């Protein structure tokens, strides 16, 4: 299995945020993690990444145990993280932000270059010398994704990529994620827009109160009115 999360328990202070979360992702697959706000979706991604390390359980990527590694070590092993908060460097130019995403000792012949990022996001090419803080919200989201891709990850953890974007930008971003997946990258996607997530992913997990309460195909989740009403609809 490409990624296996097995019975992880993550705490923030004394709060038990993840209570035995388990999920799997195959190589080349897009899987979505759904649920209402505050149920632990973002914490799950951060736990995989090593930003909020689990106190119990296992995270294995390509057969290697990841629990106990620092986030930069996780990144070097081929996992990229696109945070909801974007976290660009506002005082650096677009090009400088992208250069920061290059992993140490990265092979020159690996796929993602600044030119390739610009081919996916032509708007960023126009902003090449502008500072990140002067970009629109949509452009900052493109820059965050582009910076992560510069590390040539095999697995992308993507947290709420369409949050605050116009419908046109959402459509464009989802198509880009499809293309990235078509090049062999795997994606674990947290997304508030359920229809968008289920159109993109073939499989879905649903969370509630720090636990996985549904696992199945996107088609099965669409058909399960009880799960959607109980755990997803506002």
Query: What's the confidence (pLDDT) of residue 233?
Result: 84
Q: What is the pLDDT of residues 4-27, one digit of tens each?
A: 999 999 999 999 999 999 999 999
Residue 121 falls inside a structural domain:
no
Residue 30 falls inside a structural domain:
yes
Residue 214 falls inside a structural domain:
yes
Query: What's the confidence (pLDDT) of residue 1?
Result: 87
Neighbouring CB atoms inside 10 A of 200's CB total: 22
pLDDT of residue 119 exceeding 70, the answer is: yes
Q: What is the pLDDT of residues 40-91, one digit of tens each?
A: 999 999 999 999 999 999 999 999 999 999 999 999 999 999 998 888 999 9
pLDDT of residue 135 exceeding 80, the answer is: yes
pTM for the full predicted model: 0.93
Q: How many domains does one find in the chain? A: 1
Residue 46 falls inside a structural domain:
yes
Residue 58 falls inside a structural domain:
yes
Q: What's the whole-number mean pLDDT along residues 150-163?
A: 94
pLDDT of residue 108 exceeding 60, the answer is: no
Q: What is the pLDDT of residues 164-197, one digit of tens each?
A: 888 888 998 999 999 999 999 999 999 999 999 9
Under 8 Å between Cβ of 36 and 232: yes
Query: What's the confidence (pLDDT) of residue 110?
Result: 62
Dihedral sign of CA atoms 97, 162, 192, 202 in order: negative
Under 8 Å between Cβ of 3 and 48: yes
Residue 9 falls inside a structural domain:
yes
Q: What is the pLDDT of residues 212-234, one digit of tens each?
A: 999 999 999 999 999 999 999 86
Residue 28 falls inside a structural domain:
yes
Q: CA-CA distance, 13 to 64, in Å (whole number)?
A: 28
Query: What's the confidence (pLDDT) of residue 226?
Result: 95
Residue 96 falls inside a structural domain:
no
Structural domain range at position 46: 1-78+156-171+188-234
Query: What's the confidence (pLDDT) of residue 204?
Result: 98
3-state helix, strand, coil in the chain (%, to 5): 35, 25, 35
pLDDT of residue 32 exceeding 80, the answer is: yes
Q: What is the CATH number of the domain that holds 37?
A: 3.40.50.300
CA angle 160/6/225 to nearest 5° reads 55
């Amino acid at each position: 299995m490409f990624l296996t999360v097995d019975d992880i328990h993550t705490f923030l202070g004394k709060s038990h945020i993840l209570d035995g979360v388990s999920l799997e992702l195959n190589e080349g697959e897009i899987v979505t993690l759904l649920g209402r706000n505050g149920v632990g979706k973002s914490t799950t991604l951060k736990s995989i990444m090593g930003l909020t390390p689990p106190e119990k359980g296992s995270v294995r990527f390509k057969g290697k145990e990841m629990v106990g590694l620092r986030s930069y070590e996780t990144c070097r092993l081929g996992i990229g993280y696109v945070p909801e908060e974007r976290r660009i460097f506002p005082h650096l130019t677009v090009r400088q932000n992208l250069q920061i995403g290059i992993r140490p000792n990265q092979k020159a012949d690996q796929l993602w270059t600044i030119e390739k990022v610009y081919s996916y996001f032509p708007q960023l090419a126009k902003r090449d010398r502008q500072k990140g803080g002067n970009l629109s919200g949509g452009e900052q989201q493109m820059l965050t994704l582009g910076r992560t891709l510069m590390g040539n990850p095999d697995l992308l953890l993507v947290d709420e990529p369409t949050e605050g974007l116009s419908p046109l930008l959402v459509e464009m971003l989802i198509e880009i994620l499809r293309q990235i997946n078509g090049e062999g990258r795997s994606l674990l996607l947290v997304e508030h827009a359920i229809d968008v997530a289920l159109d993109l992913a073939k499989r879905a997990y649903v969370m509630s109160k720090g636990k996985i309460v549904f696992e199945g195909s996107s088609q099965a989740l669409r058909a399960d009115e009880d799960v959607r009403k109980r755990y997803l609809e506002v």
